Structure 1
């Protein structure tokens, strides 16, 4: 790592007094020159006090939810490389230098892959394991990707990613949103297997298996609708249209055999289904064009942002000389 590289460690926390001290110490040892930020999300215990005592930069975020905390971190903190982890001591800090090195090589986001190592052995919550597999299969299938760990909270980011990523989610679905955003915009991703460990005794998970699972799946549903509108609306329109065509065929065959149409309500409903299906397909085509234009706009904005960053860096170098 270069001497003038600014690294920020981001630790969103809510009631992590049992583990936060060790986590701060571990990251300070792994990344000696980094600034460790702990954002306290309305904790009712001594999380902020302990983190301050260990030398972390502690700030408050009153809007409840991990997504809100990440949004505040990304807005407030300027660095060349960002490392995001949890304050529950489930992620190894000694993997951080290698993640930082990959960002400096040119990757936009490095994903700490738990699922290729010890996650399924360490995690004692079977529904979480099932949820991880379901989310991974859904997103990889839709985007034609091969990301192993969609929902990991251990990631590293470039400055460009942090400043151009629109944080929309408010809760734990933020990691899923990050992955979908990266795949949709063809960003440079790198997966690095890490050794996951379950929470230590006395540390309580803030996850709600059913509630957070529903939020994650609703996020996937919403982002599929926004990022892949043609498969979404086109597929739905095709199903509805096919049902309408089948019903129209039944009425037509009856008319062919008897010369009479005895089921006018069925005929009217079938025609309406065919029209609705065609409208959905047309809407999917229009929205798909808009989504592609949004991706073009994102690329142009990212390029402009990268140019400005290089320009400012060059000016700082000249000023120092």
Structure 2
């Protein structure tokens, strides 16, 4: 590891008094020259005080939610390599992740739990199902091949951190990071990491259903924003098919009898056809805007590159 490069370990924490000290110790041993940052997200169990005693640089983020914490971290901290981990002691440090960033092999390195011990260690079966569903959706919609979409164990380059617009407020932030990298052709590499479930007495802040719904909403929103032609084109096709299905029987009746007895059906078919064409045009116009935004991003990305 290059000793001249600055490494920052980022630990967003909310009520992790039981584990935060051990996490800080483990990451200090793995990255002895790194600065350890703990951002306390309104903890009520003394997490911040424990982290400070353990030698971390502690700051407080008052806007609740992991996405808000990551936004503050990315804004405040300058480093050549950023290591992000959860404060719940589920992600052991992997020095190889920092090495890959510092060698310029990737803009984001993802700690892949799902290829190792996640499905045997994790005691929440709906989380396993949710991970598979989210992975399948993103890989299909954005044409990538990422195994672990929602892991909190990641490493980033300076360029990624300073060009990533954090829009999510909560746990959907990891999904947003992955889609951002995929949409802007930023190199992602996965490194298998071990996963261990939370120790007894430590409670997860994730809500399987509400947070899962937010993640799916984030995927839909980003698919619309990054691939508007595909998004609006899909709905345009649906309206077009329904319109044709309604119109064909009326058309056949007209040729057979010369009469149009079902005017309401014909009118509805016409309206659906118009809606489909409008959706197609929206997708076409937005696709041009997205392409222009990508060109602007590339210029900004080049200027930010160290």
TM over 0.5: yes
Give the alignment of 1:295-310 within 5 angstroms. Answer: 295-306=294-305, 309=306
- Residues 279-303 of structure 1: per-residue CA shift (max 9 Å, x gap): 1111111111111111111111100
Q: CA–CA distance in 2 between the matches of 1:137 and 1:2? A: 37
**Runs (5+) with no aligned partner, structure 1:** 310-321
Determine the structure 1 residue equivalent to 2:114.
115
Determine the structure 2 residue equivalent to 1:222.
221
CA shift for structure 1 position 278:
1.0
Determine the structure 1 residue equivalent to 2:91.
91
Contact 2:15-2:45 within 8 A present in 1 as well: yes
Give the alignment of 1:74-223 within 5 angstroms. Answer: 74-93=74-93, 95=94, 97-106=95-104, 107-223=106-222
Q: CA–CA distance in 2 between the matches of 1:223 and 1:35? A: 33
Three-state SS of the structure 1 residue aligned to 2:155 is strand
- Residues 230-254 of structure 1: per-residue CA shift (max 9 Å, x gap): 1110011011011112211111111
Determine the structure 2 residue equivalent to 1:31.
31
Q: CA–CA distance in 1 between the matches of 2:292 and 2:130? A: 33
CA shift for structure 1 position 43:
0.2
Determine the structure 2 residue equivalent to 1:58.
58
After TM superposition, the runs of 4+ consecutive aligned structure 1 residues lying more than 4 A away are none
Q: CA–CA distance in 2 between the matches of 1:140 and 1:181? A: 13
Three-state SS of the structure 2 residue aligned to 1:44 is coil
Q: CA–CA distance in 1 between the matches of 2:287 and 2:116? A: 38
Q: CA–CA distance in 2 between the matches of 1:33 and 1:189? A: 25
Contact 2:101-2:107 within 8 A present in 1 as well: yes
Q: CA–CA distance in 2 between the matches of 1:38 and 1:88? A: 12
Contact 2:66-2:169 within 8 A present in 1 as well: yes
Determine the structure 1 residue equivalent to 2:7.
7
Per the normalisation by structure 1, the TM-score is 0.94
Three-state SS of the structure 1 residue aligned to 2:190 is strand
Contact 2:2-2:102 within 8 A present in 1 as well: no
Three-state SS of the structure 2 residue aligned to 1:203 is coil
CA shift for structure 1 position 162:
0.5
- Residues 82-130 of structure 1: per-residue CA shift (max 9 Å, x gap): 000000000012x1x1100000121100000000000000111011000
- Say yes or no: does 1:263 pair with 2:262: yes
The structure that is helix-richer by fraction is 1
Aligned pairs, how many? 305
Q: CA–CA distance in 2 between the matches of 1:188 and 1:87? A: 26
Q: CA–CA distance in 2 between the matches of 1:33 and 1:13? A: 22
**Runs (5+) with no aligned partner, structure 2:** none
CA shift for structure 1 position 168:
0.2
Give the alignment of 1:213-252 within 5 angstroms. Answer: 213-252=212-251
Determine the structure 2 residue equivalent to 1:313.
none
Q: CA–CA distance in 2 between the matches of 1:76 and 1:104? A: 20
Determine the structure 1 residue equivalent to 2:49.
49
- Residues 32-57 of structure 1: per-residue CA shift (max 9 Å, x gap): 00000000000000101110001000
Q: CA–CA distance in 2 between the matches of 1:289 and 1:118? A: 44
Q: CA–CA distance in 1 between the matches of 2:9 and 2:235? A: 43
Determine the structure 1 residue equivalent to 2:272.
273
Q: CA–CA distance in 1 between the matches of 2:170 and 2:257? A: 61
